[in-house]
């Protein structure tokens, strides 16, 4: 791999751009931040039928009822 080739320079630029967008997305405050988050959302979202991260255990989780946790903690 030539470190000075055009393709290599492009890949470095793209790598830096992705980090900059991720930083903006993580901040999510200004208009530019939110635009970056929206762009990353579109770049990374998958149609449900191809989404290997879908999992019923996770997708259907609604958490716990606080009273249920209280009772459990008391050993009831």
Partner 1 sequence: MREGVTTKRALCASCDIACSVVTEIKNGRVVRVRSSDNPIFRDHICMKGIVAPKGFANPNRILHPLKRVGERGSGKWEQVTWDEAMADIGSRLQAVVDRYGPEAWAVSTSQWNTSTDHGLGRRVMNHVGSPNWISGVALCAGNTAAVNRFTYGWFPFGDFNNTRCIVLMGHNPRRHSWTPIYNYIRSAQQRGAKLIVMDPRRSSSAERADIWLPLKVGSDTAMMFGWLKVIIDEGLYDKEFVAEWTVGFDELRQRVDEYPLERVAELTGCDPEMIASAARLYATHGPTIIPWTPITDMQRNSTSGIRLQSILRAICGYLDVPGGELLQGFNPDIINESEIEMHHVLPEAQKAKQLGSQDHPAFTYRGQSAFREPTRRVYGQEYANLVMGCHMATPSATFQAMAGEGPYPVKAFFFLGNNPLLSYANMPMILKGMMNQELIVAHEQFMTPSAQLADYVLPADSWLERPWLHDMFGWMSTVRFSEKSMDPPGDCRSTFQFWKLLAGALGQSDIVPWDTLEDFYDYRVARTGMSFADLVATTEVHFAKPEFRKYEKTGFATPSGKVELKSSVLEGLGFDPLPYFREDPPRDDAYPLMMFTGVREDGFFQTGHRHIPEMRARHPEPEIYLNEKTARTAGVRDGEWVAVENQLGRIKAKLAIRDAMPDDLVRVPHGWWKPEMPQGHGQLSGAHDYADSQLCRDDDDFLDREQGIPHIKGIPCRVVSLMSPSGDAEIVDASLLEPVE
Site residues (CB under 8 A) for partner 1?
1-3, 8, 11-12, 14-16, 18-19, 22-23, 25-29, 37, 40-41, 43-46, 50, 52-53, 55, 57-58, 61-66, 69-70, 72-75
* Separation of alpha carbons 44 and 34, rounded Å: 15
Q: What minimum distance in Å lies between the beta carbon of 48 and partner 1?
A: 12
Closest distance between partner 1 and the C-beta of residue 33, in Å? 10
Q: What's the residue count for the chain?
A: 76
Tell me the closest approach of the beta carbon of residue 38 to partner 1, in angstroms: 9
């Amino acid at each position: 791999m030539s470190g000075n080739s055009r393709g290599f320079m492009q890949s470095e630029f793209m790598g830096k751009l992705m980090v900059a967008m991720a930083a903006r997305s993580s901040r999510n405050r200004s208009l530019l931040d939110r635009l970056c988050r929206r762009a990353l959302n579109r770049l990374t979202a998958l149609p449900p039928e191809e989404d290997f991260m879908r999992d019923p255990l996770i997708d259907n989780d609604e958490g716990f009822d606080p009273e249920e946790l209280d009772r459990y903690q008391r050993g009831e």
